[in-house]
Chains A and B, each alone.
Chain A
Amino acid sequence: MPAHLSARLCSLALSLFLIAFALPAFAGPFEDAVAKFANDDFSDTEEAIGVVAGSGNPLAFPIISALQDGRLMADPDSKKVYVTGADGKSIDAATGAAVASVPDSASAVRLNNRLRRSVDAALGGLTLQSPDVGTRLQAAQSVFKSHEETALEAVDAALAKETSRSVKTALGEARAAILLFKSDATEVEKLEAVATLKARGDQDALALLTGMGDQPASVTKAAASAIGSIQSSLAVWSMVQNAWYGLSLGSVLLLAAIGLAITFGVMGVINMAHGEMVMIGAYTTFVVQEVIRTRYPGLFDYSLLIAVPLAFLVAGAIGVLIERSIIRFLYGRPLETLLATWGLSLVLQQAVRTMFGPTNREVGNPSWMSGAFELGQITITYNRLWILVFTLAVFMILLAMLRYTALGLEMRAVTQNRRMAASMGIATSRVDALTFGLGSGIAGIAGVALSQIDNVSPNLGQSYIIDSFMVVVFGGVGNLWGTLVGAFTLGIANKFLEPVAGAVLGKIAILVLIILFIQKRPRGLFALKGRAVEA
């Protein structure tokens, strides 16, 4: 944080706590508390946080925020504590005097989870009147979470001055949370608090209302009705949430299966090495990120955009190679194709294991794929959202390609009636190679996306191969729309079953349903009709 900003914050903190503070030169409770940071004992640190935050000393804010960021250094020998700034300048935490350098024996004051909560609560109280709206909002939210009585005055003071509507709401909720747990709050105050929390209506509000303990009868009654209304609204949201998770899982299934829908669905090759193409795409992403990290760190957020075409080319080229060297000799012989591609998948796995090692490789999420946003009462994570968008885009592009390009026309011609296509002058073997390359390339693109949510390891492909076949067979072999509907149906069904049956049983139930379905409709959801079926 820039120095002038922290200085302003300090003066605000000062005006907030109108308590006389000792001049830094005196050894008082503040100095004693600061020295406790050097004891490397969690309960001493907690005590020190409480005293420093409540001292009203202008140094309180820099000390506590330094503690949060791991910039508070303590020397166990001299019991001196220092605040180091981001700019490399340091001050003595007890006096505020600048020091030339922090001794080597000093190390950052350690925190555990309990202390992190105390730090959050303390910082919340200290930054309620920060000039920055975002900081104020965060402060109000951490006061809401800790809802300690001591913060009430600060909240009231901040509320009186607040102009931003969202911060005002957050402060009101923080105030309600405090009042609900304040033993000497009036019944009216508590009823108001219950109403405020009911309006907030999320799981945190529910948590406060269910955990509030003994209250006057009227408050208990109001709380019970608030709990009921929050719960019923959350139940609706949980349906929405399941549907979203289903769409998200469906998009992953679709992405993994879409390449197979070409190699298996359109060409009829039982391609057990499909998963390895996905894996190769993921490893391409890893290599791209490694190069970016070492040479062009500024481009990291674009790493996936760069990886997509590269993964398509790498996996596509390997696909063409496989088709030319192995699969073209095996057309029309499913059993050998199955064995050969399975053997190939082992070879590819072992090759990657030898090149990159057996352990997982870290593929980072670019900033636009990290985190989440709230939509009503559900959390939507950016990585899942982007994967859904990406999958649909890939699907549309592929569909358009098959429909509107010359290559697409030739592919359809060759797969529907090879001899007729050949007599019309299409180089069928070239088209075969390109089709297989296209399917593999798309699998490679899938790998780029899947590297964001799964492990990048030599086994990555294995976990998707069964699901991919399931989707293609269920949707109807040879029909891209069938693959789309199949993937989303399975995804949504799975996510609605999972909360009821658990992850393991849910998956089994889906498999059983598919087996029964295939008995009834052996050609899947969207069966091809006409002469193509017999080819």
Chain B
Amino acid sequence: MFSKSTHDIAASFSRRGVLAATAGLVLGLASLTGAKAADDTIKVGVLHSLSGTMAISETTLKDTILFLIDEQNKKGGVLGKKLEAVVVDPASNWPLFAEKARELITKDKVSVVFGCWTSVSRKSVLPVFKELNNILFYPVQYEGEESERNVFYTGAAPNQQAIPAVDYLMKEEKVKRWVLAGTDYVYPRTTNKILEAYLKSKGVAQEDIMINYTPFGHSDWQTIVADIKKFGSAGKKTAVVSTINGDANVPFYKELGNQGIKAKDIPVVAFSVGEEELAGIDTKPLVGHLAAWNYFESIKTKDGSNEKFIKDWQAYTKNPKRVTNDPMEAHVIGFNMWVKAVEKVKSTDPDKVIDALPGIEAPNLTGGVSKMLPNHHITKPVFIGEIKANGQFDVVWKTPGLVAGDAWSKELEGSKDLIGDWVGKKCGNFNTKTNKCLGSGS
């Protein structure tokens, strides 16, 4: 059927078929474009995928920002102006993130953007934010090794999630053998590199570390789960450190449950699985598997701040079962920090706000107060939670205080001397040994 000549195809190209096809395309895209805006408002860009493989995680973050803007406007807005959200859909398509970011800044003239989930999407928009000098709040735990003037990282750096989780497993579960399983992209690869270096520095031998990568959306986990089982039967306590992202987690956990790998035999500690992801799984076989985050919905606070947030959120979404999760909390902290900084300098000018943000403090939802650091990361508590049968987490361990986020990992040869300091040194990658700023060239 491909034997038709190109001439025929070209000739028939303009007929009804194209009409039908474009009509389909237009219909598909029409529902995604945002609204136009009035002039006396402050515009806030929301850059989260509402379709594609990351929609499962990112849609909630879009709703979170809309919720926060709604709450802020009820309090009278910022600087006497109402906030207005401009929502775009980069559709889990990494280059499209850059395009949509440019559109937000140049066309919609937003003052700040809240967005991105995967590190590839963040890397894709970085040049745009630098070039057009705007602000991005990035709410997801990530691999570190970055400190940019225009980006504020409200999610966890590796030392605020991965390293404490590994410490917990070593100390509490006496784990001697490690499977580092991840999705094949920059966050899992860098995190696993850091973890590998860290484990080796703790005396773990190379043969006791197994590293495995799978594509986005991987669904056939039989071989890998069987491999994990085999790796775990070498007479040493084994654990899986999972940086598997997105909805590939669901079939992974299903396969673990079906093949009878219980948490008490081989625990899995995940860095990207929260309440939202568990909502699509039967969690009974998963009881006891772990997750490391800076926030859990189940955490009880003395001042009731978490309880109040959950109640307001469920009222706003009109869904009494809607869960909350860690990246949402990061957006809450980031949003409140931005509001405070804008009110401090009485302007939404990105340069002024960027300079004002370090040192700003905002309460987190677990009863503490987080602070923006000169390296554009924030201080956070670290919690280890075990999955319960109802899809929530039971906190089994937490750090005594807040942990300051390291932009550059102390475990890696190439970055252990680097620091980010946008207050004193005005540099994102300052080498403390040579006393030099590496600049954007590195």
Give residues in A with beta carbon < 8 Å to B: 42, 110-114, 116-117, 120, 145, 203-204, 206-212, 238, 241-242, 245, 248-249, 252, 268, 326, 329-330, 332-337, 339-340, 342-344, 346-347, 349-350, 353-354, 358-362, 364-365, 370-372, 379, 381-384, 453-459, 463, 477, 495, 498-499, 502-504, 507
User: Which residues of B are found within 8 Å of A381, using beta-carbon distances?
Assistant: 222, 255, 258-259
Cross-interface CB contact of B280 among A334, A340, A360, cutoff 8 Å: A360
Within the complex, what minimum Cβ distance (angstroms) separates A144 from chain B? 12
User: Which residues of A are found within 8 Å of B263, using beta-carbon distances?
Assistant: 113, 116
Separation of A383 and B221 alpha carbons in the complex (Å): 13
Separation of A322 and B285 alpha carbons in the complex (Å): 41
- List the 10 closest A-B pairs by CB distance, nearest first: A211-B235, A343-B24, A336-B17, A346-B28, A339-B21, A360-B280, A203-B233, A207-B233, A340-B21, A381-B258
Separation of A358 and B91 alpha carbons in the complex (Å): 12
27 contacts between A and B (CB under 8 A): A207-B233, A245-B220, A329-B17, A333-B9, A335-B9, A339-B18, A340-B17, A340-B21, A343-B24, A346-B27, A349-B51, A353-B51, A359-B56, A365-B282, A371-B258, A372-B260, A381-B222, A381-B255, A382-B258, A454-B250, A455-B56, A458-B51, A458-B55, A477-B1, A495-B222, A498-B223, A503-B214
Given known contacts A335-B17, A362-B280, A455-B250, what 16 new A-B pairs fall within 8 Å (CB)?
Answer: A117-B264, A207-B234, A245-B220, A330-B20, A336-B12, A337-B17, A359-B59, A371-B258, A372-B258, A379-B229, A381-B222, A454-B250, A455-B280, A477-B1, A499-B227, A503-B223
Q: Is the CB of B1 within 8 A of A360?
A: no
A371-B258, A504-B213 are contacts. A358–B59 as well, Cβ < 8 Å? Answer: yes
User: Which residues of B are found within 8 Å of A113, using beta-carbon distances?
Assistant: 173, 263-264, 267, 288, 386
Cross-interface CB contact of B220 among A249, A347, A457, A502, cutoff 8 Å: A249
A113-B267, A340-B17, A503-B224 are contacts. A379–B260 as well, Cβ < 8 Å? Answer: yes
Residue of B nearest to A507 (CB): B215
Interface residues in B255-272 (C-beta closer than 8 Å to A): 255, 257-260, 263-265, 267
Interface residues in B1-17 (C-beta closer than 8 Å to A): 1-2, 4, 9, 12-13, 15-17
Is B363 interfacial (CB 8 A cutoff)? no
Residue of A nearest to B260 (CB): A372
Q: Is the CB of A343 within 8 A of B222?
A: no
A114-B172, A381-B255 are contacts. A358–B51 as well, Cβ < 8 Å? Answer: yes
Within the complex, what minimum Cβ distance (angstroms) separates B265 from chain A? 8
Separation of A207 and B176 alpha carbons in the complex (Å): 13
Q: Is the CB of A350 within 8 A of B233?
A: no
Cross-interface CB contact of B219 among A342, A359, A364, A463, cutoff 8 Å: A463
Q: Is the CB of B282 within 8 A of A362?
A: yes
Q: Is the CB of A350 within 8 A of B51?
A: yes
Is B226 interfacial (CB 8 A cutoff)? yes
Interface of A is mostly: helix
Q: Is the CB of A344 within 8 A of B24?
A: yes
User: Which residues of B are found within 8 Å of A454, using beta-carbon distances?
Assistant: 219, 250-251
Q: Is the CB of B259 within 8 A of A372?
A: yes
Within the complex, what minimum Cβ distance (angstroms) separates B47 from chain A? 16
User: Which residues of B are found within 8 Å of A245, using beta-carbon distances?
Assistant: 220, 222-223, 226
Is B217 interfacial (CB 8 A cutoff)? yes
Is B31 interfacial (CB 8 A cutoff)? yes
Separation of A111 and B171 alpha carbons in the complex (Å): 17
Separation of A507 and B220 alpha carbons in the complex (Å): 12
Within the complex, what minimum Cβ distance (angstroms) separates B226 from chain A? 6
User: Which residues of A are found within 8 Å of B217, using beta-carbon distances?
Assistant: 459, 463
Within the complex, what minimum Cβ distance (angstroms) separates B205 from chain A? 14
Q: Is the CB of B51 within 8 A of A379?
A: no
Within the complex, what minimum Cβ distance (angstroms) separates A416 from chain B? 14
Q: Is the CB of B223 within 8 A of A499?
A: yes
User: Which residues of B are found within 8 Å of A342, using beta-carbon distances?
Assistant: 21, 24
User: Which residues of A are found within 8 Å of B4, using beta-carbon distances?
Assistant: 332, 334
Q: Is the CB of B20 within 8 A of A326?
A: yes
Interface Cβ pair total, 8 Å cutoff = 210
A112-B172, A359-B280, A362-B282 are contacts. A370–B258 as well, Cβ < 8 Å? Answer: yes
User: Which residues of A are found within 8 Å of B29, using beta-carbon distances?
Assistant: 346
Q: Is the CB of B234 within 8 A of A347?
A: no
Within the complex, what minimum Cβ distance (angstroms) separates B217 from chain A? 5
Separation of A389 and B244 alpha carbons in the complex (Å): 30
Residue of B nearest to A270 (CB): B1
Residue of A nearest to B17 (CB): A336
Q: Is the CB of A206 within 8 A of B1?
A: no
Cross-interface CB contact of A112 among B31, B52, B232, B386, cutoff 8 Å: B386
Within the complex, what minimum Cβ distance (angstroms) separates B409 from chain A? 24
A211-B235, A383-B258 are contacts. A334–B250 as well, Cβ < 8 Å? Answer: no
Separation of A504 and B248 alpha carbons in the complex (Å): 14
Separation of A370 and B284 alpha carbons in the complex (Å): 12
Separation of A98 and B46 alpha carbons in the complex (Å): 59
Separation of A241 and B226 alpha carbons in the complex (Å): 9
User: Which residues of B are found within 8 Å of A495, using beta-carbon distances?
Assistant: 222-223
Cross-interface CB contact of B230 among A203, A350, A503, cutoff 8 Å: A203
User: Which residues of B are found within 8 Å of A457, using beta-carbon distances?
Assistant: 55-56, 247, 280
Give the residue among A209, A248, A340, A502 with the most B Cβ atoms within 10 A: A340
Within the complex, what minimum Cβ distance (angstroms) separates B3 from chain A? 8
Is B38 interfacial (CB 8 A cutoff)? no
User: Which residues of B are found within 8 Å of A203, using beta-carbon distances?
Assistant: 229-230, 233
Within the complex, what minimum Cβ distance (angstroms) separates A348 from chain B? 9
Separation of A421 and B232 alpha carbons in the complex (Å): 62
A116-B263, A347-B24, A504-B215 are contacts. A360–B51 as well, Cβ < 8 Å? Answer: no
Within the complex, what minimum Cβ distance (angstroms) separates B156 from chain A? 22
Residue of A nearest to B276 (CB): A359
User: Which residues of B are found within 8 Å of A359, using beta-carbon distances?
Assistant: 55-56, 59-60, 276, 279-280
User: Which residues of B are found within 8 Å of A502, using beta-carbon distances?
Assistant: 212-213
Is B135 interfacial (CB 8 A cutoff)? no
User: Which residues of A are found within 8 Å of B56, using beta-carbon distances?
Assistant: 358-360, 455, 457
Is B254 interfacial (CB 8 A cutoff)? yes
Q: Is the CB of B28 within 8 A of A347?
A: yes
User: Which residues of B are found within 8 Å of A326, using beta-carbon distances?
Assistant: 20
Separation of A328 and B202 alpha carbons in the complex (Å): 67
Separation of A247 and B305 alpha carbons in the complex (Å): 53
Residue of A nearest to B49 (CB): A358
Q: Is the CB of A211 within 8 A of B250?
A: no
User: Which residues of A are found within 8 Å of B51, using beta-carbon distances?
Assistant: 349-350, 353, 358, 458
User: Which residues of A are found within 8 Å of B254, using beta-carbon distances?
Assistant: 365, 453
Separation of A498 and B386 alpha carbons in the complex (Å): 31
Within the complex, what minimum Cβ distance (angstroms) separates A419 from chain B? 17
Residue of B nearest to A115 (CB): B264
Separation of A206 and B279 alpha carbons in the complex (Å): 37
Separation of A362 and B172 alpha carbons in the complex (Å): 33
Q: Is the CB of B279 within 8 A of A112?
A: no
User: Which residues of B are found within 8 Å of A361, using beta-carbon distances?
Assistant: 280
Is B396 interfacial (CB 8 A cutoff)? yes
Residue of A nearest to B319 (CB): A357
Separation of A249 and B223 alpha carbons in the complex (Å): 10
Separation of A344 and B25 alpha carbons in the complex (Å): 7
User: Which residues of A are found within 8 Å of B297, using beta-carbon distances?
Assistant: none
Q: Is the CB of A340 within 8 A of B20?
A: yes
Within the complex, what minimum Cβ distance (angstroms) separates A306 from chain B? 19
Q: Is the CB of B247 within 8 A of A360?
A: yes
Within the complex, what minimum Cβ distance (angstroms) separates A110 from chain B? 6
A379-B260, A383-B258, A453-B254 are contacts. A333–B17 as well, Cβ < 8 Å? Answer: yes
Q: Is the CB of A503 within 8 A of B251?
A: no
Within the complex, what minimum Cβ distance (angstroms) separates B400 from chain A? 16
Give the residue among A208, A329, A347, A364 with the most B Cβ atoms within 10 A: A347
Separation of A65 and B411 alpha carbons in the complex (Å): 44
Q: Is the CB of A210 within 8 A of B1?
A: no
User: Which residues of B are found within 8 Å of A212, using beta-carbon distances?
Assistant: 235
Residue of A nearest to B290 (CB): A113
Interface residues in B184-233 (C-beta closer than 8 Å to A): 184, 212-215, 217-220, 222-224, 226-227, 229-230, 232-233
